[in-house]
């Protein structure tokens, strides 16, 4: 009888704590002008999922667990995972120049590009720009891609590098990236609400995006997969992937260790050192941060009117994932991290703002 009462008490306390966190998340939305968000917090086997606010400002449609968000650059970790799985099958050598696998037309006339490897791309040291042109415009696919820096000389965030690697993997396998993601991630992990291409079935559950003034705009309809920005998903789906990714599930032990090992100190090309720089580095496909709670993995996503972030604390088997439907999303990230991880300095948002 005592054991039953103890279990009931624990359940009541847990419910009360979750209700309090939901109320605090709702207050953060109002304080920072964000219409809605999804948050998933994990600690060991415990999973807490929160959906707060509305899909579109001025409407009464609530954000639910199945509301579709643009995950933006968080799709890059899925490309990383696919690349590392292909590496484990000896289909991709991380240190072999990518142009020896696939002659990327956009890099013609760029002799320095012959040095670029998958390892450089995954660590953002390939020397490529973020985007040569707007990648959602028709002319991007045939635009010239010019290196900004010497490969492996400094850190420069690059969606173009990931696009190059994506094209290489598609060439090696003869499959589209949507097919690769489906075979390697979506089906095995049972992610039913995720795709790198717009589906009409998403329309009924999709969130609108919002600018800083709260003006809504329809969710983008990306018709071709691009790991750098086109992922549609929910926090529930992506968190399941994040547990596999951060724990190296499905990877050889030595390969999984690459996700926790410094590949570059992330010294930003052409920029002076900043206060947060000593605390930020990059592993093979994911950011690293030295936080008050130990080593963290992290990545942010920015599609303008959709912004998100994840941070994992491998030493504590904990993670926080945040999807927002507003360009104001970054304003609440630190408070969300402290709400779940506890007080401390987490450095990622400060580094991004510098």
Tens digits of residue pLDDT in 220-255:
999 999 999 999 999 999 999 999 999 999 999 999
What pLDDT was estimated at residue 5?
A: 52
pLDDT, position 15: 64
> Which position has the token pair 């329309």?
203
Torsion over CA of 256, 261, 265 and 268, rounded to 10 degrees? Answer: 10
Domains (range + CATH), the chain = 30-74+177-353 (3.40.710.10), 79-173 (1.20.58)
Q: Are 339 and 25 in contact (CB under 8 A)?
A: yes
pLDDT tens digits, one per residue of 149-158: 999 999 999 9
Task: Encode pLDDT of 63-98 as tens digits.
Answer: 999 999 999 999 999 999 999 999 999 999 999 999
Give the span between the Cα atoms of 178 and 331, in whole angstroms: 32
The residues, any chain, with a CB within 8 Å of residue 188's CB and separated by 6 or more, are 250
- Position 28 scores a pLDDT of 98
Contact 320, 340 (CB under 8 A): yes
pLDDT value, residue 253: 98
Q: Per-residue confidence at 17, pLDDT binned at 50, 70, 90?
A: confident
Distance CA 138, CA 163 (A): 15
The answer to whether residues 249 and 241 touch, using CB atoms and an 8 Å cutoff, is no
How much is the average pLDDT of 171-184? 98
Residues 6+ apart with CB under 8 A from 272: none
Q: Is the pTM of this model over 0.85?
A: yes
What integer pLDDT is reported at residue 83 of this predicted model?
A: 98
pLDDT reading at 129 higher than 80: yes
3-state secondary structure of 164: helix
Band (pLDDT 50/70/90 cuts) for residue 16 is confident
């Amino acid at each position: 009888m005592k054991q039953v009462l103890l279990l009931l008490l624990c359940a009541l306390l847990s419910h009360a704590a979750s209700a309090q966190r939901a109320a605090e998340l709702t207050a953060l939305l109002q304080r920072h002008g964000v219409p809605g968000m999804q948050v998933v917090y994990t600690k060991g086997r415990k999973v807490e999922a929160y959906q707060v606010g509305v899909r579109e400002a001025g409407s009464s449609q609530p954000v639910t667990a199945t509301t579709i968000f643009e995950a933006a650059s968080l799709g890059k970790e899925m490309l990383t995972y696919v690349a590392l799985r292909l590496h484990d099958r000896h289909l991709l050598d991380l240190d072999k120049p990518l142009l020896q696998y696939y002659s990327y037309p956009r890099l013609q006339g760029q002799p320095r590009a012959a040095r670029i490897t998958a390892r450089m791309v995954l660590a953002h040291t390939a020397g490529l720009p973020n985007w040569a042109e707007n990648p959602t415009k028709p002319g991007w696919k045939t635009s010239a891609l010019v290196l900004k820096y010497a490969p492996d000389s400094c850190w420069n965030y690059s969606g173009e590098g990931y696009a190059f690697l994506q094209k290489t993997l598609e060439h090696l396998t003869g499959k589209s990236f949507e097919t690769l993601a489906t075979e390697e991630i979506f089906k095995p992990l049972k992610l039913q609400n995720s795709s790198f291409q717009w589906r009409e079935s998403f329309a009924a559950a999709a969130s609108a995006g919002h600018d800083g003034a709260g003006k809504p705009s329809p969710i983008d309809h990306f018709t071709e997969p691009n790991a750098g920005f086109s992922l549609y998903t929910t926090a529930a789906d992506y968190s399941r992937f994040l547990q596999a990714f951060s724990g190296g599930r499905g990877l050889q032990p030595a390969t999984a260790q690459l996700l926790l090992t410094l590949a570059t100190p992330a010294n930003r090309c052409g920029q002076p050192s900043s206060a947060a720089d000593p605390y930020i580095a990059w592993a093979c496909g994911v950011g690293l941060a030295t936080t008050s709670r130990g080593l963290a993995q992290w990545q942010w996503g920015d599609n303008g009117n959709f912004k998100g972030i994840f941070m994992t604390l491998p030493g504590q088997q904990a993670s926080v994932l945040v999807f927002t439907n507003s360009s104001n999303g970054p304003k609440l990230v630190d408070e969300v991290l402290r709400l779940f991880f506890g007080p401390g300095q987490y450095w990622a948002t400060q580094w991004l703002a510098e």
